[in-house]
Every structure is written in C-alpha cells, then in structure tokens.
Amino acid sequence: MSDKQPVGKGTGKYSQTKRIFRRVMKLLALLLVLMYLLVCLSPWLPPASFWFAAVLGYGFPFLLAAVLLALLVLIIRRSRLAFVPLVLLLLGFQQIRAAIAFHFGAADFRTEKKQGSLRVMLWNVSAWDQTPKAGKEFASFRNLMMDAVQQQQADVLCFQEFFEPSNSKYFDSNIEELRKMGYSYHHFYPKSVTYSGRRLVGLIILSKYPIVDSATVRFANTPHSEGLVSADIKVNDKTVRVFSTHLESSRTSGRGAGNVAGKAKNVLSRLKQAYYYRQPQAELVKQAVEASPYPAVLCANLGDIPNSWSYFKVKGNMDDAFLKKGAGFGRTYRFLSPTVRVDYIFAGNGLRVDQFNIPGVTYSDHYPLVCDLLLD
C-alpha cells in the first residue's frame, strides 16, 4: 500500500497564485526603482522637455517612504537584496536633503529679534481675499490677515498676489494700511489690472528701512506669473538687495471635464504648460540674483517643489532658510499633499539664517514664511 498522498487541486492553484503574486511584486519593485531614479535625476532634466519627470517629483516623499519600507522588510527577512534600497537612498541623498529639514527639537521662534538682524516675511496673500468681493462692504479675511502681518514684526514684507484698489470708493488701500504699521517704503509692480483699472494685483516689497533703488523684470507671455521685483534696502550702514518673484502657477485644481479621467488630463496639461513657462523664468531670476552687487535675499513662490529643476536652478549656492532652521517637509501650500512646499526664502553670501518659522495662518491658500537674517 502506497504512503503517497494525492495532491489536491487547490495546492496547484495556490502555487500558481503565489508565482503570479511574486511576479507582480517584482514588477512593482522595478517600477518603484525606475520612478525613484527618474525623480533623482529631475534637477538635471529641463522641465520644458522632461515635464513627466518633474510631475513625478510631487510623489518623491511617498517614493522615499516606499524605499524605506522595502529596506526595513528586507532587513527583517535578512535578504541580500537589502543593499538595493540602501543604494537608492544614497543616490537620492541630494533630493532628501532638499525635501526634508532635520532640525527637530529646535527652540521656538523668538518674537524678539537679535540686534542687527533683518526680519523678512514672505506671503502669497491671495489678493487679501478681496478680489472675489464686490466692494469693501463685503466680509473678507483682509483685516485678520493684516493683524497676522503686524504680529510677525517683520522689517521687510514680500507679498505675491498683492491687491491694491485704484479707488478707495470700492476698497480701502492696503498699502496705506501697511504704512500705518511702519512700512513707509514700498515698490509695487501690478502685473494685472482688472475691472477697468479698479483692482491692481501683483508683487510688492514693503520696508521699514529706506528703499534706495528698485527694479522690475517682466516675464514675457506667461499668463499666471507675476515677474520679478527687487529693492535695494539700506539697513543701517549696509545695503541689502531683496528680490521677490512669483513663477508660473501650475493651477492643479482639477477643474475642467466632469469625469476623473478628464480632470486628470486637464491637470497634466496645465502642469506641462507651467513647466514650459517656468524654465526660462527660473533662468532669468538666477541671472538677476547672481548680478547683485549686494548681499541678496530672494523671496520666491516658485510654484514648484524642492525636488525640481526650478528649485535647484534658482537656489544655486544660496541658503534655503527652511533647510537651515526648519523641520519636516515645511508645507507652504494648504491644499493637495501635506508635503507640498512651493514658497521659499533664500539667503545669499553675506547673510546668515538665524531663525525661521511658518506661522499656521490659514486665510490664504499659502502659509506665510518668516525669517531672521544676520548681516555679516
């Protein structure tokens, strides 16, 4: 009598399912590796031509998490393949350093500044929540936003999407309101003039210190950017050149066709267009900052993440204030992913970052940034 047991039909199906599962996992692992490597290459890939690599950059924090998880699993299983995610982490070291600040447990932001420091505030104020309104009699976040600005006690303000009425009949002057706070000097470039000239929207630099010179660079044929402005500010016996820019926006709201596929196609189309416009804008900003004869501060809404070509192009050798003193991903855009950082304060030679903060003010679609700089 034979001792052999008949093999059940279910056993063969189980083995086949297991083989299919392993193949799928290998394909997913390969896809993860390729996507991760492509994102790591994105700083060297011009986005006008390689826009798909730039889009993948938005997923870098999640790709990084997947690589770390794979490393943990392979270490637990004592697999020889654990070296693969380790190599990926080394290859992505530059991207990791750009995306994450590691100053956890740092001291809280001090309201009182050090003597000789310059406090700079950057904020995309989204027109003070006023342009959708018909007039000043309609409620907006404007007064609350003004209070938030005053609380920061900044010396220099760099605002994007700054709204100023041309006639106080419709709205109160925002420039005049800020003048009452001590910002006696300003340089305003209204990129767009709407409603028959009643509403001016654009970039502005305001300062408590004298502005001794200013300049404006207009971006050509770009519908959703605001150009570049600069102001030479006399801080005691030194001059600092402050730049402010707003590169082409991606406009990823998903509006358009009603179905999911249509909306996704619409968003990708907008991203592709934004990358096309943004590349020459970033090059112009880089040239302007490098030409500064004074220590330079750049307040920028790049419309792009730290893993992008635009970020590395514009930043160059400047210090990213968030990376110097911040912690985590430093979210500056309130929507989409909690990892999205598109607003930056960069400090050039002759300036040191003393402290940095992202106040949790929710009246705009962007959070403000506040930074104290020490003049060497």
Say whether pLDDT at 7 is over 60.
no
The structural domains of the chain, with segments of one domain joined by +, span 10-99, 105-375
- pLDDT tens string 199-245: 789 999 999 999 999 999 999 877 789 999 999 999 999 999 999 99
pLDDT at position 1: 47
Say whether pLDDT at 162 is over 90.
yes
pLDDT at position 198: 64
Who has greater pLDDT, 262 or 164?
Answer: 164
Q: How confident is the model at residue 13 (pLDDT cuts 50, 70, 90)?
A: low
Who has greater pLDDT, 198 or 80?
Answer: 80
With beta carbons less than 8 A apart as the criterion, state whether 98 and 344 touch: no
Mean pLDDT calculated for residue range 149-157: 98
Say whether pLDDT at 362 is over 60.
yes
Considering the chain, what percentage of its residues have pLDDT values greater than 90?
A: 69
In angstroms, the CA 283 to CA 108 distance is 36
Averaged confidence pLDDT in the chain: 89
Show the beta-strand stretches assigned E in the chain.
Answer: 101-102, 117-124, 156-165, 185-194, 199-207, 211-217, 227-235, 238-246, 296-301, 319-320, 327-328, 343-347, 351-357, 369-375
Mean pLDDT calculated for residue range 333-353: 95
Mean pLDDT calculated for residue range 153-181: 92
pLDDT at position 262: 75
Q: How confident is the model at residue 315 (pLDDT cuts 50, 70, 90)?
A: very high
Say whether pLDDT at 294 is over 70.
yes
Q: Are strands 117-124 and 156-165 parallel, antiparallel or unpaired?
A: parallel
Look up the CATH number of domain 105-375.
3.60.10.10
Mean pLDDT calculated for residue range 275-293: 96
Residue 242 in tokens: 């402050």
Name, in order, each residue with C-beta under 8 angstroms of 309's C-beta and a sequence gap of 6 or more. Answer: 42, 43, 44, 45, 46, 47, 54, 279, 282
pLDDT at position 163: 92
Between the ranges 25-34, 229-238, 265-274, where is the mean pLDDT highest?
229-238
Mean pLDDT calculated for residue range 85-92: 95
- pLDDT tens string 46-79: 998 999 999 999 999 999 999 999 999 999 999 8
pLDDT at position 25: 84
